[in-house]
Structure formats: C-alpha cells, structure tokens
Amino acid sequence: MTIYDISEKAGVSIATVSRVLNGSSNVSEKTKKKVLDVINQYEYTPNAFARGLGLNTMKTIGIMCADSSDLYLAKAIYYIEQKLRANGYDSILCCTGYELETKMSSMNLLITKKVDGIILVGSNFIYEKESDNKYICDAATQVPLMLLNAALDAPNVYCVVSDDFTSMYDATMEMINAGLTDILYYYNSYSYSGKRKLAGFKAAMEEKGLLKNHSLQYYGGSHEDIPAMTEHLKKLRQKGVPFKGIIAADDTLALASIKYAKEMKLKVPEDLSIIGYNNSMLAHCCDPELTSIDNKLETLCQHLITTLMGILGGNEMPKKTIFSGELIKRDTTL
C-alpha cells in the first residue's frame, strides 16, 4: 500500500493525500475523512509525508551523485546541502559511481534510512531504456524524487534542468558568427545533459553547413587527467585534423584545450578560440581567462530545494522547470 493506492481508493489526488498526511488546513473535513478512512481500513503506515499524523519526520534528505570529485557535481552538492540546512534538514550523501547496480543499491539504502526525499545530482542517473529507470520510479512511490539537470516523466518525480541544448547552440553560433568554420566539439559524456549539449552543437553546425566528420571528438578517459586530454588534441593535430575553434562540454576539457594551445605555441584566441561549459572556478584559473557557459547551477539548486520543501509541505509544485544558461565572455574568444 502506497500513497498512490490511497489516492486511488479515496478518489482524490496524490497532492490531497499528501496534504492530509501533512496536516494541512487546505483540505475539507469531508475529504480528510475519506482519506483517513482508507488509511485506517488498509492499516497504511505513512513514511516521511506523515507529519500531520504525529509521526516524526527524520528531517533528512538523501543525496545521490555519481562522483563527488567532479567539479560540477561537488559544487551542486555544496549548494544543495547549504540550502537544505537553511530549511532545517540534514542530508545523507551516497557517491554511487556510474554502474546501475550500485545506483540501485544506494537508492535502496536511502529508502531504508527513512529519508524524507531523495535528490539525484547530475544527469547520469537517467537511462534510455525505460526499464533501467524503474529503480527511480519505484523509489518515488515512497518519497519525492528530485532530479537536478535531468528529466524523467513519472509520478512524484520532479525535475529542474538547465537548457543545455539552447546554451550550446547559442555558443556555437557565437563562434560561427565570429568567422570560424573549423570548430571542434570536445566532449566526454553520453549522459542526458551530455546528449543535449551534443545535439545543440550539431544543430548549429548543420544549420550553417559546417558539420564534418572531425567536428565531434570524444574523450573517454578520466575527467581529472588534463594531460591525457591535451595529448588527445595533439594526436588530432598530427593526423592533420583542422580546427580553429574548440567548444568543450565542460571547463576541464576547455582547460586542456588552453594547455594544448600553449604547448603548440598557438595564440588564444587569435589562432584558437575556446569556449568551456559550467563557468566553474577553472574559468579564472587559466591564462587567458576562459569564456564559458554559465548553466546557473546555484539557481537550479535553489529552485530544486524550494520545490522539495513545497512538496513536503503538501503543496502542488511544478513537475519540471527549465532555466536558460548564459555565455560569459572572457579572453579565450574573439
């Protein structure tokens, strides 16, 4: 018996059941009685939604991320924990790695800890195969599931995303309009977000008739191995692959591109223009400073927590919210 079963048997919405369980005054006595009668009939034991019935919430949120050494994910976790604490909540962090089995195990662990909700940080938790997302849908029958920069249309799953497609499309057009035609897209992920970035780059290049076989370059090594990323670009040069611009899927790849330019005695941006992604602290830690796409990470995290607090309070909240990114121009572009 879940909150969804209660909703169906009482003939009310899930949000109404949640309001009753949270003791909200925005429910008529008649409706409240219908819900409570079903709960009593089936001896339903509410979980974290049950504040209004006198059952104590744990005031704890589970957080899952694939790799906390990743700069983007680490910063997101910082913002999320900070904003949870401001709302009186603690957190339990699980670093899952990238294997589905480990993600499922971490999800089950958090459920057994009776957390009030679970936040999935980053887009590596969503799969193309519907069956691979079942672990998320199953967990969402017990607690609210929040996705940061990923999307899944399922009951009790809420998504806050950056418009990576448009951000990458606009950045590519910016470089094209600066007069560059040989542009290389340097990427390292096939995640939900990674695919949206890739699609944005391809759309802009195809629109201008500039997409070529060498335009897309995938790097499959460690996200921390900047020398290896640099060597990858050197090998392209040795093969005679032409490129006057690089748009990177994250700032680490962009930093490697700057390192490559220096080692090849190329002037940036005169000989090679470079755009990164995430507008991380790395954008200020290189010479010249990096032009990068700001995906509004803090804004995303703030909205995600605001949404979660609203859900736990029994309020109707948007299922999906999209924020636009912004190209922050510095010294690596013309």
CA distance 265 to 190: 32
Residue 54 is predicted with a pLDDT of 38
Could you tell me if residue 276 is inside a domain? Answer: yes
Could you tell me if residue 328 is inside a domain? Answer: no
Same domain, yes or no: 126 and 74: yes
* Integer angstrom CA distances of residue 315 from 58, 87, 100: 19, 16, 32
Same domain, yes or no: 43 and 106: no
CA distance 66 to 182: 34
Q: Is the pLDDT of residue 158 over 70?
A: yes
Residue 46 is predicted with a pLDDT of 57
pLDDT tens, position by position, 68-117: 999 999 999 999 999 999 999 999 999 999 999 999 999 999 999 989 99
pLDDT tens, position by position, 218-228: 999 998 899 99
Is the peptide bond prior to 155 cis by the omega test (within 30 degrees of 0)?
A: no
| Residue 51 φ then ψ, to 5° | -60, -40
> Residue type for 166, please?
T
Q: How many domains does the chain divide into? A: 3
Q: Are 257 and 243 in contact (CB under 8 A)?
A: no
Residue 53 is predicted with a pLDDT of 40
Torsional sign, CA 265, 269, 275, 280: positive
Residue 124 is predicted with a pLDDT of 95
Where residue 318 falls (left for φ over 0; alpha for ψ -120 to 50; beta otherwise) is beta
Residue 49 is predicted with a pLDDT of 43
**Strand 90-95 to 60-65 pairing:** parallel
Residues spanned by the domain of 102: 60-162+297-323
pLDDT (mean) for 250-269: 98
pLDDT (mean) for 29-36: 89
CATH of the domain at 88: 3.40.50.2300
pLDDT tens, position by position, 206-257: 999 999 999 999 999 998 899 999 999 999 999 999 999 999 999 999 999 9
Percent share of the chain, pLDDT over 90: 80
Answer whether 0.85 is exceeded by the pTM: no
55 pLDDT tier (thresholds 50, 70, 90): very low
* Integer angstrom CA distances of residue 121 from 79, 125, 317: 11, 8, 19
Size of the chain, expressed as the number of residues it contains: 334
Residue 48 is predicted with a pLDDT of 44
Percent share of the chain, pLDDT over 70: 95
> Residue type for 279, please?
N
CATH of the domain at 26: 1.10.260.40
Q: Are 305 and 297 in contact (CB under 8 A)?
A: no
3-state helix, strand, coil in the chain (%, to 5): 45, 15, 40
Q: Is the pLDDT of residue 50 over 50?
A: no
CA distance 332 to 334: 7
Supply the DSSP symbol for 24. -
Is the peptide bond prior to 242 cis by the omega test (within 30 degrees of 0)?
A: no
Residue 287 is predicted with a pLDDT of 95
Same domain, yes or no: 80 and 158: yes
Same domain, yes or no: 211 and 279: yes
Show contacts of 48-56: CB within 8 Å, 24+ apart.
48/114, 48/115, 48/116, 48/117, 48/143, 48/312, 49/3, 49/17, 49/18, 49/21, 49/22, 49/312, 50/21, 50/22, 51/21, 51/22, 51/23, 52/20, 52/21, 52/22, 52/23, 52/24, 53/21, 53/23
Same domain, yes or no: 155 and 37: no
5 pLDDT tier (thresholds 50, 70, 90): confident
Same domain, yes or no: 183 and 40: no
| Residue 60 φ then ψ, to 5° | -135, 135
Could you tell me if residue 330 is inside a domain? Answer: no
pLDDT: is 174 or 16 the higher one?
174
CA distance 1 to 37: 14
CA distance 81 to 55: 24
Q: Is the pLDDT of residue 44 over 50?
A: yes
Q: What is the mean pLDDT of the chain?
A: 92
Same domain, yes or no: 221 and 114: no
**Edge-to-edge strand ranges of the sheet holding 90-95:** 90-95, 60-65, 117-121, 145-148, 157-162, 320-323
Same domain, yes or no: 206 and 285: yes
pLDDT tens, position by position, 274-301: 999 999 999 999 999 999 999 999 999 9
Could you tell me if residue 270 is inside a domain? Answer: yes
Could you tell me if residue 332 is inside a domain? Answer: no
Residue 19 is predicted with a pLDDT of 78
Same domain, yes or no: 206 and 226: yes
